[in-house]
Amino acid sequence: MSNYWNNQVSLPAPELIQAMNGSSVLIGTLLYAPVKLILDNQSTTAVVLSISFDGGTSLIQWKTFAGAEALVLDDDLSPFPKGTSFYGNGAANGSFSIAYTYMKE
């Protein structure tokens, strides 16, 4: 049996959060490639989440979150790349939050 020491640690990144206002708004851009990602619709109505890999020039409509729906993604093997931007479009009655952790050696 090998004696392997893993010196990587998981660190929290700053939360990405934005109030919805009835039009498409930038929730935030990933500063690091995430390992764990929590996508949380904190409003009472649906929010359409879109993703951009080119700074917002093109948006990919990815998922519609029901009111108060949250989703946890475990991206250990295939994370979204650093620089990915998230946009939300929902009624003006709450916020959408993205919390994530990343690996640092």
CB 104 within 8 Å of CB 9: yes
* pLDDT tens, N- to C-terminus, the chain (105 residues): 454 556 778 999 999 999 999 999 999 999 999 999 999 999 999 999 999 999 999 999 999 999 999 999 997 778 899 999 999 999 999 999 999 999 986
Fold of the 10-99 domain: Jelly Rolls (2.60.120)
